[in-house]
Structure 1
């Protein structure tokens, strides 16, 4: 195991800070790869334990600790389910059928991917009331329930995207990658082949103690990371790296403008590129 210190500015920027300038010129470009919605053949998400368990502190019964309440909610969530979280992730990586944000927006009546992002972040209560969209969140939940779609999850690499992330690092000739958490508190240099495991990365033994949330080329020229409350994977690189492998050919998403922030749903729309479905 490596005890390397994280290079400076490899953690995510604050939400009101432009992404590319935050990294101090380390990267030439940044791509926002949207976490896809997905279906599993013959599986109803309503019968599965998956996604974020959301609750407010004021919902905790008087006299009960937050931890005890959380444990009780988790236990109830796993009662009589068809698939638990790990089984859903395994099935998603093996046979998940993705629906792009562009298709979902058109079918569910959202103006664009910014509106979808706002609805998703409202759903997990990650936005202040002044910025939230409760109606959009309710409409999104209803559409996904009707279409039997799993919502993407925030803050973790998505099983449906892992094979293509592995392909991205392979196309760039990275023989080894630095796998770590989002804070740089734990990271390990591993052969790139670990990214090609058929299991979801968080189920591969001997990965970092915390969920893997950052992949970095050893020379620092390519990075993929996820932020705690974000429904996308941020891919940053030098012009040379992106000349070798174009993330826009692998993922639905958009290229960041110089002023793009993590809370890009409040900014001017950037056009989507990449696969659709």
Structure 2
């Protein structure tokens, strides 16, 4: 397999983010994939998103895929992602946290992630997870999309690229083996959802700019050079936070979850 250039590659889990990209970018931000609402639709009547099969055995997964009825009355229509892009309304993580009364953001955010990907890890706060399910059911809110550029976030990305004076980007597949050049205007709300045929849109790149997502994650990493950052901070438009020298690419995981390289010294 052809080696992925570092400016398009996610940092390994044992290396701090800013250390990994020190020669490519000057700033990195964690961008939270939003919760969202779609007028006239609800998760209970129009299902949308990844189907999880948990920790099932391989044969059980094969049986599920080969015997489960693919289409149900609750399935979203084929173009639902474009409907989300056109009419969807973002719901901030901070608003959800406030609504369910979760006090600690780190615990809340980690539980959101583990709840979205249906993980049974012991550090998922079950009270928060149950509150998230109730909140979304009662308020017709969809959970954050995972692995990809969310449809509801495309118009925000369009505006940010405009502020950075970026007219064209390359969208990349998860393994960076497929790509497609698209105009930045393709992300405008009035256009269909941006699509990389047969692949997930897991990376978006331009000179001095990179935004990417990992498998089973609801947080993107947005990288910028000093020149682009001086035009506009991502936090003017996106919900998220700046990456610090002690953070790794699995930003919602405890740092001591696995063995890591030492924290880099600040100069």
Q: Deviations over 1:148-190 (max 9, x none)?
A: 1111111111111111212222322223212111321112333
Say whether the 8 Å CA contact 2:52–2:118 is kept in structure 1: no
Distance 1:133 1:41 in 2: 30
Distance 2:129 2:198 in 1: 33
Distance 2:249 2:164 in 1: 25
> Which of 206, 211, 224 lines up with 1:237 in the alignment?
224
Deviation at 1:120, TM superposition (A): 2.6
Where do 1:102-121 residues align within 5 Å? Answer: 102-121=94-113
**Structure 2 vs 1, CA of residues 46 and 201 (structure 1 numbering), >3 Å: closer, same or farther?**
same
SS at match of 1:17: coil
Tell me the residue number matched to 2:114.
122
Distance 2:150 2:211 in 1: 12
SS at match of 1:58: coil
Say whether the 8 Å CA contact 2:116–2:143 is kept in structure 1: no
> Which of 37, 51, 62 lines up with 1:39 in the alignment?
37
SS at match of 2:81: helix
Where do 1:247-266 residues align within 5 Å? Answer: 247-266=234-253
SS at match of 2:230: helix
Tell me the residue number matched to 1:155.
147
**Structure 2 vs 1, CA of residues 123 and 72 (structure 1 numbering), >3 Å: closer, same or farther?**
farther
> Which of 180, 192, 212 lines up with 2:201 in the alignment?
212
**Structure 2 vs 1, CA of residues 159 and 13 (structure 1 numbering), >3 Å: closer, same or farther?**
same
Unaligned runs of 5+ in 1: 269-277
**TM-score (normalizing by structure 2):** 0.83
**Structure 2 vs 1, CA of residues 228 and 85 (structure 1 numbering), >3 Å: closer, same or farther?**
farther
**Structure 2 vs 1, CA of residues 10 and 247 (structure 1 numbering), >3 Å: closer, same or farther?**
same
Distance 1:84 1:262 in 2: 32
Where do 1:20-31 residues align within 5 Å? Answer: 20-31=18-29
Distance 1:258 1:126 in 2: 29
Distance 1:124 1:8 in 2: 29
Q: Deviations over 1:27-79 (max 9, x none)?
A: 1111112111111223221111212211135377xxx562341254462xx41
**TM-score (normalizing by structure 1):** 0.80
